[in-house]
Amino acid sequence: MTQKNRILNSLITRQIKKGTMIHNGSMDCTGLLLVKHGQLRAYILSDEGREITLYRLFDMDMCLFSASCVMRSIQFDVTIEAEKDTDLWIIPAEIYKNIMEESAPVANYTNEIMASRFSDVMWLMENIMWKSLDKRLAAFLLEESTLEGDNTLKLTHEIIANHLGTAREVVTRMLRYFQREGVVKLARGTVEITDEEKLRQMS
């Protein structure tokens, strides 16, 4: 109960607007992020400035990479931003580190979360290496449609490129091909899925 009270007494509550960068790289030890309500995106940035999404965080998800100083062996330059207006709890890194050192169950739970996130990253790497971009793009559009509950997606080609780790021009060419195939309809700032079944086959 003492550990629980220490966490409750140290919790920081923040309301984050869509588009806000919450954490930037391994040098930024923000603390552990707990999503009360909203949606966050974790991504990495290449030297050339190209982004690729590693994973998303949703209601009641926890992000450990934002407290990488807790685990000295992990140097992972992850950037985290709010994809939607988000209510957050933040556990200060030192508080969590102390509790993790005292409690084997907390340490085990932490390791399980880290293993799950690394599995997400490995799955992403396998997709990049072995799956063609058209399949990845089709899967991404279907995932976005599921998340938003709508077949009309408010996404620019630049945003899609950032998620997939490719160039905007490549995404534009691929979307135009999808449009010629009759699976999407393009308009300024939107992509409308017009044939979901065919898009699933393409993914």
Nearest to 192 by CA among 147, 146, 155: 155
Query: Domain boundary residue among 97, 129, 161?
Result: 129
- The three-class DSSP label of residue 184 is strand
Q: What integer pLDDT is reported at residue 48 of this predicted model?
A: 81
Using CB atoms within 10 A of its CB, is residue 106 exposed (0-12), middle (13-18) or buried (19+)? middle
- In this structure, the answer to whether residues 151 and 185 fall within a common structural domain is yes
HSE-CB at 136 with a 13 A cutoff on CA atoms is 22
Query: Domain boundary residue among 99, 129, 159?
Result: 129
pTM for this prediction: 0.82
- In this structure, the answer to whether residues 75 and 19 fall within a common structural domain is yes
Identify the CATH number of the domain in which residue 138 sits.
Answer: 1.10.10.10
- In this structure, the answer to whether residues 46 and 140 fall within a common structural domain is no
Q: What is the pLDDT of residues 7-26, one digit of tens each?
A: 889 999 999 999 999 988 76
Q: What integer pLDDT is reported at residue 12 of this predicted model?
A: 93
Domain range for 7 is: 2-129
Identify the CATH number of the domain in which residue 25 sits.
Answer: 2.60.120.10
Residue 179 is which amino acid?
Q
Q: What is the pLDDT of residues 91-125, one digit of tens each?
A: 998 898 888 888 899 889 888 888 888 888 888 88
Q: Cα 138 to the chain's mean position, in Å?
A: 18
- In this structure, the answer to whether residues 142 and 121 fall within a common structural domain is no
Query: Domain boundary residue among 129, 164, 187?
Result: 129
- Cross-strand partners of 18: none
Token pair listed for 136: 């990845």
The DSSP call for residue 76 is -
The number of folded domains in the chain is 2
Mean pLDDT by 10 residues, the chain (203 residues): 84 95 77 93 86 93 79 72 95 88 88 86 87 94 95 96 93 95 95 96 91
